[in-house]
Amino acid sequence: MFSPRRFVLLLSLALLAGWVVTGRVRAIPEPDPVLLPKLGVVEGVRAKVDMPEGASPAKFEGEPMFASVKLKPNYGLVEFDTAKMKQLTIDKVEGDTVSATIELNDGHLFHGQLLTAQLPVQDGAEIRQLPLATGLKVKFSKPGDFSLLAAIVGLVTLTLMEVVLGIDNVIFLAIISGKLPAEQQRMGRRIGLGAALVTRLALLATLSFLLGLTKPLFELPELPFFDNHEARGISWRDLILLVGGTFLIGKSTFEMHEKVKDAKQTESSAVKTAASFASVIVQIAIIDIVFSLDSVITAVGMVDQLWVMVTAMVIAVLIMLAFAEPISRFVEKYPTVKILALSFLILIGVLLVAEGLGQHIDKGYIYFAMAFAVLVEFINTRLRP
Protein backbone atom coordinates (compact mmCIF):
# COMPACT_ATOMS: atom_id res chain seq x y z
CA MET A 1 0.00 0.00 0.00
CA PHE A 2 1.51 3.32 -1.09
CA SER A 3 0.72 5.57 1.89
CA PRO A 4 1.55 9.31 2.08
CA ARG A 5 3.77 8.80 5.12
CA ARG A 6 5.78 6.08 3.42
CA PHE A 7 6.17 8.24 0.32
CA VAL A 8 7.53 11.31 2.10
CA LEU A 9 9.87 9.17 4.20
CA LEU A 10 11.25 7.37 1.14
CA LEU A 11 11.66 10.66 -0.73
CA SER A 12 13.42 12.23 2.24
CA LEU A 13 15.82 9.29 2.50
CA ALA A 14 16.52 9.42 -1.24
CA LEU A 15 17.27 13.13 -1.16
CA LEU A 16 19.46 12.78 1.92
CA ALA A 17 21.31 9.94 0.19
CA GLY A 18 21.85 12.22 -2.79
CA TRP A 19 23.21 14.89 -0.47
CA VAL A 20 25.72 12.40 0.94
CA VAL A 21 26.70 10.84 -2.41
CA THR A 22 27.18 14.19 -4.15
CA GLY A 23 29.42 15.51 -1.36
CA ARG A 24 32.66 16.09 -3.24
CA VAL A 25 34.24 18.77 -1.07
CA ARG A 26 34.68 19.23 2.65
CA ALA A 27 34.79 22.38 4.74
CA ILE A 28 38.04 23.22 6.49
CA PRO A 29 39.02 25.80 9.13
CA GLU A 30 40.29 29.22 8.09
CA PRO A 31 43.84 28.55 6.86
CA ASP A 32 47.16 30.09 7.74
CA PRO A 33 48.41 32.83 5.37
CA VAL A 34 50.81 30.36 3.71
CA LEU A 35 49.47 26.91 2.97
CA LEU A 36 52.02 24.26 2.03
CA PRO A 37 50.77 20.87 0.82
CA LYS A 38 52.21 17.72 2.32
CA LEU A 39 54.99 16.41 0.12
CA GLY A 40 54.60 12.90 -1.25
CA VAL A 41 53.60 11.46 -4.61
CA VAL A 42 49.85 10.97 -5.02
CA GLU A 43 49.54 7.32 -6.02
CA GLY A 44 47.92 6.59 -9.38
CA VAL A 45 47.61 10.23 -10.47
CA ARG A 46 49.55 11.90 -13.29
CA ALA A 47 49.74 15.62 -13.99
CA LYS A 48 50.07 17.09 -17.50
CA VAL A 49 51.26 20.67 -17.05
CA ASP A 50 50.86 23.51 -19.56
CA MET A 51 53.17 26.23 -18.27
CA PRO A 52 52.42 29.98 -18.53
CA GLU A 53 53.47 31.76 -21.71
CA GLY A 54 57.22 32.26 -21.90
CA ALA A 55 58.07 29.58 -19.33
CA SER A 56 60.47 26.76 -20.11
CA PRO A 57 59.66 23.98 -20.66
CA ALA A 58 56.29 24.90 -22.15
CA LYS A 59 54.84 21.48 -21.24
CA PHE A 60 55.83 18.50 -19.16
CA GLU A 61 54.27 15.54 -17.38
CA GLY A 62 54.92 14.24 -13.89
CA GLU A 63 53.45 13.07 -10.61
CA PRO A 64 51.74 15.66 -8.36
CA MET A 65 53.15 15.88 -4.86
CA PHE A 66 50.19 17.75 -3.38
CA ALA A 67 47.31 15.64 -2.03
CA SER A 68 44.78 18.48 -2.04
CA VAL A 69 44.14 22.04 -3.16
CA LYS A 70 42.43 24.74 -1.08
CA LEU A 71 40.11 27.22 -2.77
CA LYS A 72 38.03 30.08 -1.42
CA PRO A 73 34.92 30.55 -3.60
CA ASN A 74 32.19 33.12 -2.90
CA TYR A 75 30.29 30.92 -0.44
CA GLY A 76 33.02 29.61 1.88
CA LEU A 77 36.26 27.66 1.99
CA VAL A 78 36.70 24.19 0.49
CA GLU A 79 39.44 21.62 -0.01
CA PHE A 80 39.60 19.38 -3.06
CA ASP A 81 41.36 16.01 -3.18
CA THR A 82 43.79 15.83 -6.08
CA ALA A 83 42.44 12.38 -7.00
CA LYS A 84 38.97 13.92 -7.61
CA MET A 85 40.21 16.76 -9.76
CA LYS A 86 40.27 16.81 -13.54
CA GLN A 87 41.91 20.17 -14.17
CA LEU A 88 43.33 23.19 -12.33
CA THR A 89 43.61 26.51 -14.20
CA ILE A 90 45.11 29.80 -12.99
CA ASP A 91 42.81 32.51 -14.40
CA LYS A 92 44.32 35.73 -13.04
CA VAL A 93 47.01 36.93 -10.65
CA GLU A 94 46.66 40.34 -9.00
CA GLY A 95 49.29 40.97 -6.34
CA ASP A 96 49.02 38.20 -3.76
CA THR A 97 45.54 37.15 -4.97
CA VAL A 98 45.49 34.13 -7.29
CA SER A 99 42.15 33.40 -9.02
CA ALA A 100 41.77 29.80 -10.16
CA THR A 101 39.22 27.38 -11.61
CA ILE A 102 38.99 23.73 -10.52
CA GLU A 103 37.12 21.18 -12.64
CA LEU A 104 36.15 17.93 -10.92
CA ASN A 105 35.91 14.53 -12.55
CA ASP A 106 32.12 14.86 -12.88
CA GLY A 107 32.44 18.09 -14.87
CA HIS A 108 31.50 20.56 -12.14
CA LEU A 109 33.47 23.79 -11.96
CA PHE A 110 34.54 25.83 -8.94
CA HIS A 111 35.97 29.35 -9.13
CA GLY A 112 37.68 31.31 -6.39
CA GLN A 113 40.91 32.39 -4.71
CA LEU A 114 43.63 29.74 -4.65
CA LEU A 115 44.96 29.38 -1.10
CA THR A 116 47.53 26.64 -1.70
CA ALA A 117 50.88 28.41 -1.93
CA GLN A 118 52.97 25.71 -3.62
CA LEU A 119 52.20 23.05 -6.25
CA PRO A 120 55.19 20.67 -6.51
CA VAL A 121 55.27 18.11 -9.35
CA GLN A 122 57.91 15.39 -9.63
CA ASP A 123 59.33 15.24 -13.16
CA GLY A 124 61.64 12.23 -13.17
CA ALA A 125 64.28 12.86 -10.51
CA GLU A 126 63.52 16.60 -10.38
CA ILE A 127 60.79 18.28 -8.31
CA ARG A 128 59.38 21.35 -10.07
CA GLN A 129 57.45 24.06 -8.22
CA LEU A 130 54.65 25.21 -10.54
CA PRO A 131 54.52 29.01 -10.87
CA LEU A 132 51.25 30.58 -9.71
CA ALA A 133 50.93 32.66 -12.87
CA THR A 134 48.14 33.41 -15.31
CA GLY A 135 47.77 30.68 -17.90
CA LEU A 136 49.06 27.75 -15.85
CA LYS A 137 46.96 24.66 -16.55
CA VAL A 138 47.32 21.27 -14.85
CA LYS A 139 45.36 18.28 -16.17
CA PHE A 140 45.08 15.25 -13.89
CA SER A 141 44.72 11.72 -15.24
CA LYS A 142 44.19 8.44 -13.42
CA PRO A 143 44.48 4.89 -14.76
CA GLY A 144 41.13 3.11 -14.69
CA ASP A 145 40.44 0.30 -12.24
CA PHE A 146 38.79 -2.47 -14.25
CA SER A 147 38.53 -5.08 -11.49
CA LEU A 148 35.18 -6.76 -10.78
CA LEU A 149 34.96 -5.25 -7.29
CA ALA A 150 35.57 -1.75 -8.64
CA ALA A 151 32.93 -2.32 -11.31
CA ILE A 152 30.35 -3.47 -8.72
CA VAL A 153 31.08 -0.52 -6.42
CA GLY A 154 30.88 1.87 -9.37
CA LEU A 155 27.64 0.30 -10.57
CA VAL A 156 25.93 0.59 -7.17
CA THR A 157 27.16 4.16 -6.60
CA LEU A 158 26.28 5.34 -10.09
CA THR A 159 22.83 3.68 -9.96
CA LEU A 160 22.06 5.48 -6.70
CA MET A 161 23.29 8.74 -8.20
CA GLU A 162 21.20 8.26 -11.35
CA VAL A 163 18.08 7.54 -9.29
CA VAL A 164 18.64 10.68 -7.22
CA LEU A 165 19.28 12.76 -10.34
CA GLY A 166 16.13 11.25 -11.86
CA ILE A 167 13.85 12.42 -9.05
CA ASP A 168 13.31 15.79 -10.70
CA ASN A 169 12.61 13.99 -13.99
CA VAL A 170 9.93 11.83 -12.36
CA ILE A 171 8.36 14.85 -10.63
CA PHE A 172 8.20 16.71 -13.95
CA LEU A 173 6.66 13.65 -15.61
CA ALA A 174 4.08 13.32 -12.83
CA ILE A 175 2.98 16.93 -13.18
CA ILE A 176 3.03 17.27 -16.96
CA SER A 177 1.35 13.90 -17.60
CA GLY A 178 -1.44 14.96 -15.24
CA LYS A 179 -2.56 17.36 -17.97
CA LEU A 180 -3.44 14.41 -20.23
CA PRO A 181 -6.77 12.56 -20.23
CA ALA A 182 -6.79 9.82 -17.57
CA GLU A 183 -6.55 7.00 -20.12
CA GLN A 184 -3.38 8.50 -21.69
CA GLN A 185 -1.44 9.42 -18.56
CA ARG A 186 0.26 6.05 -18.00
CA MET A 187 1.31 5.84 -21.63
CA GLY A 188 2.68 9.39 -21.50
CA ARG A 189 4.81 8.58 -18.45
CA ARG A 190 6.16 5.41 -20.00
CA ILE A 191 7.05 7.14 -23.25
CA GLY A 192 8.70 9.95 -21.27
CA LEU A 193 10.93 7.60 -19.28
CA GLY A 194 11.67 5.55 -22.39
CA ALA A 195 12.74 8.73 -24.20
CA ALA A 196 14.93 9.66 -21.22
CA LEU A 197 16.73 6.30 -21.42
CA VAL A 198 17.19 6.54 -25.20
CA THR A 199 18.57 10.09 -24.88
CA ARG A 200 21.06 9.01 -22.20
CA LEU A 201 22.28 6.01 -24.20
CA ALA A 202 22.56 8.11 -27.36
CA LEU A 203 24.75 10.64 -25.54
CA LEU A 204 26.92 7.83 -24.16
CA ALA A 205 27.33 6.42 -27.66
CA THR A 206 28.67 9.78 -28.87
CA LEU A 207 31.13 10.68 -26.12
CA SER A 208 33.32 12.69 -28.51
CA PHE A 209 30.27 14.77 -29.47
CA LEU A 210 29.34 15.15 -25.80
CA LEU A 211 32.83 16.37 -24.88
CA GLY A 212 32.68 18.79 -27.80
CA LEU A 213 29.62 20.42 -26.25
CA THR A 214 31.81 21.85 -23.48
CA LYS A 215 34.08 23.85 -25.82
CA PRO A 216 33.31 27.61 -25.68
CA LEU A 217 31.51 29.11 -28.68
CA PHE A 218 31.97 32.72 -27.57
CA GLU A 219 32.98 34.71 -24.49
CA LEU A 220 30.98 37.19 -22.44
CA PRO A 221 32.58 40.50 -21.42
CA GLU A 222 34.19 40.72 -17.98
CA LEU A 223 31.27 41.45 -15.64
CA PRO A 224 30.56 40.86 -11.93
CA PHE A 225 30.57 37.07 -11.28
CA PHE A 226 32.12 36.59 -14.76
CA ASP A 227 35.69 37.53 -13.90
CA ASN A 228 37.38 34.36 -15.17
CA HIS A 229 37.75 32.69 -18.52
CA GLU A 230 35.76 29.55 -17.66
CA ALA A 231 32.71 31.51 -16.50
CA ARG A 232 32.73 33.86 -19.49
CA GLY A 233 33.04 31.07 -22.05
CA ILE A 234 29.59 29.94 -23.29
CA SER A 235 29.44 26.45 -24.83
CA TRP A 236 26.65 24.37 -26.36
CA ARG A 237 26.26 22.65 -22.99
CA ASP A 238 25.80 26.04 -21.31
CA LEU A 239 23.19 27.08 -23.88
CA ILE A 240 21.28 23.81 -23.41
CA LEU A 241 21.30 24.26 -19.64
CA LEU A 242 20.20 27.91 -19.95
CA VAL A 243 17.31 27.09 -22.29
CA GLY A 244 16.28 24.03 -20.28
CA GLY A 245 16.50 25.83 -16.94
CA THR A 246 14.51 28.79 -18.23
CA PHE A 247 11.88 26.45 -19.67
CA LEU A 248 11.64 24.56 -16.38
CA ILE A 249 11.24 27.78 -14.36
CA GLY A 250 8.61 29.15 -16.74
CA LYS A 251 6.67 25.90 -17.01
CA SER A 252 6.66 25.29 -13.24
CA THR A 253 5.61 28.87 -12.50
CA PHE A 254 2.77 28.60 -15.03
CA GLU A 255 1.62 25.27 -13.55
CA MET A 256 1.73 26.74 -10.03
CA HIS A 257 -0.35 29.71 -11.19
CA GLU A 258 -2.88 27.37 -12.81
CA LYS A 259 -3.10 25.29 -9.63
CA VAL A 260 -3.75 28.33 -7.45
CA LYS A 261 -6.30 29.72 -9.93
CA ASP A 262 -8.16 26.40 -10.05
CA ALA A 263 -8.20 26.24 -6.26
CA LYS A 264 -10.00 29.61 -6.12
CA GLN A 265 -12.74 28.44 -8.46
CA THR A 266 -15.75 26.56 -7.20
CA GLU A 267 -16.04 22.92 -8.08
CA SER A 268 -19.04 23.59 -10.30
CA SER A 269 -17.38 26.33 -12.32
CA ALA A 270 -13.95 24.73 -12.66
CA VAL A 271 -13.22 23.55 -16.16
CA LYS A 272 -10.14 21.40 -16.75
CA THR A 273 -8.96 21.26 -20.33
CA ALA A 274 -6.83 18.24 -21.16
CA ALA A 275 -3.61 18.91 -23.00
CA SER A 276 -2.88 17.21 -26.30
CA PHE A 277 -0.74 14.08 -26.21
CA ALA A 278 1.70 15.49 -28.79
CA SER A 279 2.31 18.74 -26.84
CA VAL A 280 3.01 16.82 -23.62
CA ILE A 281 5.48 14.48 -25.36
CA VAL A 282 7.30 17.46 -26.92
CA GLN A 283 7.67 19.13 -23.51
CA ILE A 284 8.92 15.87 -21.99
CA ALA A 285 11.44 15.43 -24.83
CA ILE A 286 12.80 18.97 -24.30
CA ILE A 287 13.38 18.54 -20.60
CA ASP A 288 14.74 14.98 -21.10
CA ILE A 289 17.64 16.42 -23.10
CA VAL A 290 18.59 18.73 -20.24
CA PHE A 291 18.29 16.09 -17.50
CA SER A 292 20.08 13.50 -19.63
CA LEU A 293 23.01 15.84 -20.27
CA ASP A 294 23.58 16.29 -16.53
CA SER A 295 23.12 12.57 -15.91
CA VAL A 296 25.59 11.43 -18.59
CA ILE A 297 28.27 13.96 -17.63
CA THR A 298 28.03 12.69 -14.05
CA ALA A 299 28.31 9.08 -15.24
CA VAL A 300 31.38 9.76 -17.39
CA GLY A 301 33.10 11.44 -14.45
CA MET A 302 32.34 8.63 -11.97
CA VAL A 303 33.21 5.41 -13.81
CA ASP A 304 35.43 4.32 -16.72
CA GLN A 305 33.59 1.28 -18.09
CA LEU A 306 30.88 1.98 -20.64
CA TRP A 307 28.90 -1.15 -19.72
CA VAL A 308 28.70 0.03 -16.10
CA MET A 309 27.25 3.38 -17.23
CA VAL A 310 24.68 1.71 -19.49
CA THR A 311 23.66 -0.85 -16.83
CA ALA A 312 23.30 1.83 -14.14
CA MET A 313 21.13 3.99 -16.37
CA VAL A 314 18.86 1.09 -17.37
CA ILE A 315 18.42 0.04 -13.71
CA ALA A 316 17.76 3.65 -12.66
CA VAL A 317 15.10 4.13 -15.35
CA LEU A 318 13.41 0.84 -14.36
CA ILE A 319 13.32 2.02 -10.72
CA MET A 320 11.86 5.36 -11.81
CA LEU A 321 9.31 3.53 -13.96
CA ALA A 322 8.24 1.45 -10.95
CA PHE A 323 7.69 4.55 -8.81
CA ALA A 324 6.33 6.88 -11.52
CA GLU A 325 2.73 5.64 -11.21
CA PRO A 326 2.32 5.86 -7.42
CA ILE A 327 4.19 9.17 -7.27
CA SER A 328 1.94 10.61 -9.98
CA ARG A 329 -1.20 9.50 -8.14
CA PHE A 330 0.13 10.90 -4.87
CA VAL A 331 1.08 14.28 -6.38
CA GLU A 332 -2.34 14.63 -8.02
CA LYS A 333 -4.19 13.62 -4.84
CA TYR A 334 -2.53 16.10 -2.48
CA PRO A 335 -2.52 19.74 -3.74
CA THR A 336 0.11 20.93 -1.26
CA VAL A 337 2.52 18.21 -2.40
CA LYS A 338 2.04 19.30 -6.01
CA ILE A 339 2.92 22.90 -5.09
CA LEU A 340 5.99 21.59 -3.23
CA ALA A 341 6.99 19.51 -6.27
CA LEU A 342 6.62 22.54 -8.55
CA SER A 343 8.79 24.53 -6.14
CA PHE A 344 11.45 21.81 -6.44
CA LEU A 345 11.34 22.12 -10.23
CA ILE A 346 11.79 25.91 -10.01
CA LEU A 347 14.78 25.31 -7.73
CA ILE A 348 16.26 22.83 -10.22
CA GLY A 349 15.62 25.31 -13.03
CA VAL A 350 17.53 28.04 -11.17
CA LEU A 351 20.36 25.54 -10.59
CA LEU A 352 20.51 24.74 -14.33
CA VAL A 353 20.59 28.43 -15.27
CA ALA A 354 23.39 29.04 -12.76
CA GLU A 355 25.34 26.07 -14.19
CA GLY A 356 24.85 27.45 -17.70
CA LEU A 357 26.36 30.77 -16.57
CA GLY A 358 29.35 29.04 -14.96
CA GLN A 359 28.17 29.69 -11.40
CA HIS A 360 28.29 26.25 -9.79
CA ILE A 361 26.05 25.48 -6.81
CA ASP A 362 26.84 22.17 -5.14
CA LYS A 363 23.88 19.80 -5.53
CA GLY A 364 24.38 18.58 -1.98
CA TYR A 365 22.92 21.84 -0.70
CA ILE A 366 19.95 21.53 -3.07
CA TYR A 367 19.17 17.96 -2.03
CA PHE A 368 19.43 18.90 1.64
CA ALA A 369 17.01 21.81 1.17
CA MET A 370 14.56 19.56 -0.71
CA ALA A 371 14.79 16.85 1.95
CA PHE A 372 14.17 19.44 4.67
CA ALA A 373 11.09 20.74 2.82
CA VAL A 374 9.74 17.20 2.41
CA LEU A 375 10.19 16.53 6.14
CA VAL A 376 8.27 19.73 6.93
CA GLU A 377 5.47 18.57 4.62
CA PHE A 378 5.51 15.20 6.39
CA ILE A 379 4.97 16.97 9.70
CA ASN A 380 2.13 18.97 8.14
CA THR A 381 0.43 15.77 6.96
CA ARG A 382 0.66 14.37 10.47
CA LEU A 383 -0.87 17.49 12.04
CA ARG A 384 -3.47 18.08 9.34
CA PRO A 385 -6.95 16.69 10.29
pLDDT score, position 244 = 80
pLDDT of 189: 82
**Average pLDDT over the chain, rounded to whole?**
75
- pLDDT confidence of 140, banded at 50, 70, 90? confident
Q: How far apart are CA 187 and CA 180, in angstroms?
A: 10
The residue among 10 and 124 whose pLDDT is bigger is: 124
Q: Is 221 helix (H, G, I), strand (E, B) or coil?
A: coil
Between the alpha carbon of residue 70 and those of residues 86, 98, 172, 212, 362, the distances in Å are 15, 12, 37, 29, 16
CA–CA gap between residue 293 and residue 241 (Å, rounded): 9
Q: Lowest mean pLDDT of 27-36, 150-159, 193-202, 240-249, name the range.
A: 27-36
147-183: pLDDT as tens digits: 677 778 778 877 887 777 777 777 788 778 877 787 8
- pLDDT at residue number 143: 66
The pLDDT value recorded for residue 257 is: 79
Most confident of 42-56, 163-177, 350-364: 42-56
State residue 323's pLDDT score.
79
134: left (phi over 0), alpha (psi -120 to 50) or beta: beta
- Residue 29 half-sphere exposure toward CB, CA atoms < 13 A: 3
Asked if residues 74 and 133 have their Cβ atoms less than 8 Å apart, the reply is no
* Mean pLDDT across 138-148: 72
- Tell me what percent of the residues of the chain surpass a pLDDT of 90: 1
Q: Residue 10 — very low, low, confident or very high, per pLDDT cuts 50/70/90?
A: low
pLDDT score for 30 = 41
Residue 16, pLDDT score = 62
Residue 19: which of 200, 167, 238 has the closest Cα? Answer: 167
Identify which has the larger pLDDT, 326 or 61. Answer: 61
More confident residue, 58 or 23: 58
Q: Residues 370, 344: contact at Cβ < 8 Å?
A: yes
Higher pLDDT, 6 or 135: 135
> What confidence category does residue 371 fall into, taking pLDDT thresholds of 50, 70 and 90?
confident
pLDDT at 35: 43
> pLDDT value at position 81?
86
Which segment, 65-79, 261-275, 357-371, is predicted with the most confidence on average?
Answer: 65-79
Q: What is the pLDDT of residues 303-334, one digit of tens each?
A: 767 788 888 888 888 888 887 888 777 777 77
Task: Report the sign of the C-alpha dihedral through residues 323, 200, 374, 248, in that order.
Answer: negative
Best mean pLDDT range from 94-108, 280-294, 359-373: 94-108
- 101, exposed or middle or buried, with CB in 10 Å at 0-12, 13-18, 19+? buried
**More confident site: 293 or 347:** 347
| pLDDT band with cut points at 50, 70 and 90 for residue 266 | very low
Task: Give residue 343's pLDDT.
Answer: 84
Residue 208 pLDDT > 70, yes or no? Answer: no
d(Cα 25, Cα 23) in Å, to the nearest integer? Answer: 6
